[in-house]
Structure 1
Amino acid sequence: MLVTVARFSFPYEAQIAKARLESEGISAFIADEHTVNMQWLYSNAMGGVRLQVSESDLDKAHEILNQDRSNLVDQELGCDGERKCESCSSRNIEPFTKGKKPAFLVFLLLGMPLFFYQHGIKCRDCGHFQKLNNHK
């Protein structure tokens, strides 16, 4: 029997997690990937893209997916891993997608999204949004 180990907003995130599990010898399957690819605005309403594993592998899969391996990426890119806000120099930042809500509203009203969204980080202290196009 398959059980859901994680949910993702975007199919590529589920593919990355699936590859991580399969590299550790755990068979994984992705559900709702094609539906979200066709209508990405439905992702939140459907509960996202589901990553599923065998019930017997659930605990090991949780352990693998919860490992923080971000330091390996920072080492590979040669950055110190200490991102901070460009505006106030705070380290209290979070990943943020700018423009997703307006695109959804326009889609509901007109039937097609007219805005592009941008991935970046947002400062929790001052609210400044910063695109992620450099390694700071």
Structure 2
Amino acid sequence: MITIARFSFPYEAHIARAKLECAGLTPFVADEHTINMQWLYSNAMGGVRLQVPEAQAETALEILAQEEDEAALVEEQGCDTAPCPVCHSHNTEYYQFGRRWTFLSIMLLDLPVFPIHDGIKCRNCGQCSKTPPDTDN
């Protein structure tokens, strides 16, 4: 077995291991249990090691070097985010309106006075907008 990559945390090594297993290789994650028990030893031990048989090393390094294209993934798997009403971009994230005021009213009055509304925030233009209520009934 030859070490092809080192990671600070075991979950990072397992993501890479899963990627290699999907390609038909036989990777092994070394030192993960030691790092899980004493994570402060990670740097001293050289991190969690991802290992493969020597014959598969070159192929494994090529697979790990490939970066996933976000646009290709969206095209392949679809996009489930709501579009921005201003710029029509799907680069949005979940956002809640009124959380600060509700938290403040709970702290001061011990009663939630302000309602919290769900919405989206566009990462491209920064616009925040409320999502309409579901009308699937």
Q: TM-score, normalised by structure 1?
A: 0.54
What residue number does 2:3 align with?
4
Deviation of residue 77 (structure 1)? Answer: 6.5
User: What SS does the aligned partner of 1:36 have?
Assistant: helix
Q: Distance in 2 between matches of 1:53 and 1:135?
A: 42
User: What SS does the aligned partner of 1:58 have?
Assistant: helix
Question: Which ranges of 4 or more aligned residues in structure 1 deviate by more than 2 Å?
Answer: 72-80
1:73/1:41 CA distance change after superposition, 3 Å:
farther
1:71/1:31 CA distance change after superposition, 3 Å:
same
1:23/1:135 CA distance change after superposition, 3 Å:
farther
Identity percentage over the alignment? 55
User: What SS does the aligned partner of 2:51 have?
Assistant: strand
RMSD (Å) for aligned C-alpha atoms = 2.6
The runs of 5 or more residues in structure 2 that have no matched partner are 82-89, 92-120, 124-137
Q: Distance in 2 between matches of 1:73 and 1:36?
A: 35
Q: Distance in 2 between matches of 1:14 and 1:135?
A: 32
The runs of 5 or more residues in structure 1 that have no matched partner are 81-133
What residue number does 2:13 align with?
14
Q: Distance in 1 between matches of 2:27 and 2:50?
A: 7
Deviation of residue 72 (structure 1)? Answer: 6.0
What residue number does 1:87 align with?
none
User: What SS does the aligned partner of 1:7 have?
Assistant: strand
User: What SS does the aligned partner of 1:65 have?
Assistant: helix
Q: Distance in 2 between matches of 1:135 and 1:73?
A: 21
**What is the aligned residue count?**
83
1:71/1:40 CA distance change after superposition, 3 Å:
same
1:72/1:51 CA distance change after superposition, 3 Å:
farther
What residue number does 2:94 align with?
none
Q: Deviations over 1:70-118 (max 9, x none)?
A: 51697356554xxxxxxxxxxxxxxxxxxxxxxxxxxxxxxxxxxxxxx
Q: Distance in 2 between matches of 1:59 and 1:7?
A: 16
Q: Distance in 2 between matches of 1:31 and 1:50?
A: 5
